[in-house]
Structure 1
Amino acid sequence: MPDWTECLNFGISIAKQAGEVVLAALQDQKDVDLKSSPADLVTETDQRVENILIFEIRKRFPHHRFIGEESVAAGGRVQLTDCPTWIIDPIDGTVNFVHRFPFMAVSIAFAVNKQTEFGIVYSCVEDKLFHAQRGRGAFLNGEAVHTSGQEDINRCVVVTEIGAERDHLSLSTMTSNIFRLLKLPVHGVRALGTAAVDMCQVATGGADAYYHIGMHCWDIAASAIIVQEAGGVVMDTDGSSFDMMSRRVIAASSLAVASHIAQVVQAFPCRRDDDDPSSTCGAESVGKL
């Protein structure tokens, strides 16, 4: 079986490099454009960081492919093939970045034969680098991490996001999901504004579960393998196997907790990431947090 450690180590180095660019731009005045909704933002820094990452990877691995958030937003297609593919979110948490809310991450996943081999999430402001390689565990700044192992839904802290969708169906579904969880009850519901960092909280045991509908493959591909390698469970919100293109995910400390959340939350219609680059969710197209 091929060893992708060289690619992983290279990915870690460029994630840190990209994080420095994000931090340097954090205090600057930002030119902000809208994508699919008033809550779906993009900045010059998003585009610059993605360009840096792709340039560096292409220089080192010229035959590898890419799925990048801003490339897709510019009209590129999401095509996950058997070829080595880097799945990139240059700034997961752009709304946070614009408002200087201190949770944002560079997220990089690497897939071969449509299977994720490793994931890297660099939470820039916190200077926390999460990574995992298939079959080799999950780590935070080089130290092994593990999920809480919690199996009782009533003792869970659950993380989710409202996301960028602003049509009536999406908003009503998302808020009613939170209502149903709080009525179980769970200990609490939290939101940090970045799916990648949210899921890494599950990997470290800081939260017991995360779920969301409407995010994209670049938001969760890296953090999904980090949760799995930390001993957690990742599945679709309907309880079926996880599919990074479905735009639905539950990540949890245990199968019991994941299954309970799957019974509670409802999904609204979302076009798959690999169906159409102008994917829509509810009544509007969606982007990142």
Structure 2
Amino acid sequence: VASPCLAEAAMSSAGEDDRCWADCMDVAVRMARRAGQVVQEAVKQEKRVSSKSTPTDLVTEADQQVEDLIISTLREKFPSHRFIGEESSAEGEECILTDSPTWIIDPIDGTCNFVHSFPMVAVSIGFAVKKELEFGVIYHCFDGTLYTARRGHGAFCNGVRLQVSKEKDISKALILTEIGAKRDPATLDIFLGNMKKLLSAPVHGVRIIGSSTLALCHIATGAAEAYYQFGLHCWDIAAAAVIIREAGGCVIDTTGAPLDLMSRRVVAAGSREMAEYVARQLQPISYERDDHDQGTRP
């Protein structure tokens, strides 16, 4: 049965929009839980693994099956909506954010972790309207933790309201990051150089957990003070950005500019001061934009 929210563009009030997006978020929560159960079962099975852009950029049959499940179910309910999915984008579907209601989906974030049964794996579902992120849902597949947030309505973990760390002092910070798909010597030198700068600040520590979305959720919970990465995709950040912002945090570009969802760069922190400090330390690593082939700026 199609959603009653098919005529979003014709809605006459912000209140109607708000109710519609709340309904969409309820569906996202159900889909994330359902997809998470599929992942829980798949991790016990033999995994057929291949690579995409690099030998370390892994994909499994489960990634594709879970994305197909999520998108096919959502498309049936919301046929006028657009979809950006990790695996469909890898197969050549356009990755461009328009004003239309758009679901941004990572079916298995932490695929390498999934392949090795390392327990940091999540389903991530973000939703944007008029290029503004409206809500995010992230489900930790191994322990059943559910992170949710809707713009203007707060962020929650299993129903408990989240609050970021407001720490401004870098010497008291725990920093999270990810390595990225590029592993050539020059890129690794920059990656390690960035880590060395932060460790020399000094920060309390730097952690890599193998799941961008779950790492970002740790910023929202206050378990860590900042996160940075070059090379992530829009589906890695969309849902988490809403959760962090609604928990009181800051999400920006590594240049210090406002977040550009397609830029493949992000700094997130519990305070703007922390985010801006981390951004100033970073030597950039160049990645092609997610919307590179759509005539957008480089």
- TM-score normalized with structure 1 length: 0.94
Are residue 118 (structure 1) and residue 135 (structure 2) matched?
Answer: yes
Equivalent of residue 254 in structure 2, options 237, 253, 263:
237
Aligned to 1:49: 66
Are residue 154 (structure 1) and residue 171 (structure 2) matched?
Answer: yes
Letter in 2 for 1:69: E
Aligned to 1:271: 288
Q: CA deviation at 1:263?
A: 1.0
Equivalent of residue 131 in structure 1, options 142, 148, 159:
148
Are residue 25 (structure 1) and residue 25 (structure 2) matched?
Answer: no
Equivalent of residue 85 in structure 1, options 94, 98, 102:
102
Q: CA deviation at 1:276?
A: 2.6
User: 1:250 and 1:153 mapped to 2: Cα distance?
Assistant: 14
User: 2:191 and 2:122 mapped to 1: Cα distance?
Assistant: 23
Gaps of 5+ in 1: 278-289
Q: Aligned to 1:83, what secondary structure does the other structure show?
A: coil
Equivalent of residue 189 in structure 2, options 155, 166, 172:
172
User: 1:101 and 1:276 mapped to 2: Cα distance?
Assistant: 34
Equivalent of residue 160 in structure 2, options 122, 143, 146:
143
Q: Aligned to 1:15, what secondary structure does the other structure show?
A: helix
Is contact 1:34–1:40 with CA below 8 Å preserved after alignment? yes
Query: 4+ runs of 1 displaced by more than 4 Å?
Result: none
Q: CA deviation at 1:116?
A: 0.6
Q: CA deviation at 1:169?
A: 2.6
User: 1:134 and 1:201 mapped to 2: Cα distance?
Assistant: 19
Q: Which moved more, 1:266-275 or 1:226-235?
A: 266-275
Deviations 1:113-147 (A, max 9, x none): 01010001111102111010001100001110010
Aligned to 1:285: none
Is contact 2:252–2:275 with CA below 8 Å preserved after alignment? yes
Q: Aligned to 1:276, what secondary structure does the other structure show?
A: helix
Letter in 2 for 1:64: H
Q: CA deviation at 1:268?
A: 1.5
Are residue 59 (structure 1) and residue 76 (structure 2) matched?
Answer: yes
Higher Cα radius of gyration: 2
Q: CA deviation at 1:171?
A: 1.5
Q: Aligned to 2:74, what secondary structure does the other structure show?
A: helix
Deviations 1:98-125 (A, max 9, x none): 0000001000000000101000111110
Aligned to 2:3: none
Q: Which moved more, 1:267-276 or 1:42-51?
A: 267-276
Letter in 2 for 1:252: A
Aligned to 2:198: 181
User: 2:80 and 2:86 mapped to 1: Cα distance?
Assistant: 20
Greater relative contact order (CA < 8 Å, ≥ 6 in sequence) = 1
Is contact 2:149–2:243 with CA below 8 Å preserved after alignment? yes
Aligned to 2:9: none
User: 1:225 and 1:217 mapped to 2: Cα distance?
Assistant: 13
Is contact 1:169–1:268 with CA below 8 Å preserved after alignment? no
Aligned to 1:284: none
Aligned to 1:192: 209
Q: Aligned to 1:189, what secondary structure does the other structure show?
A: strand
Deviations 1:52-97 (A, max 9, x none): 0001101111111100000011111111110000000000000000
Is contact 1:130–1:141 with CA below 8 Å preserved after alignment? yes
Gaps of 5+ in 2: 1-13
Aligned to 1:256: 273
Is contact 2:230–2:286 with CA below 8 Å preserved after alignment? no
Letter in 1 for 2:190: T
Letter in 2 for 1:148: S
- TM-score normalized with structure 2 length: 0.92
Q: Which moved more, 1:198-207 or 1:163-172?
A: 163-172
Is contact 1:237–1:266 with CA below 8 Å preserved after alignment? no
Identity of aligned residues (%): 51
Q: CA deviation at 1:168?
A: 2.5
Is contact 1:147–1:232 with CA below 8 Å preserved after alignment? yes
Q: CA deviation at 1:166?
A: 1.4
Letter in 1 for 2:149: A
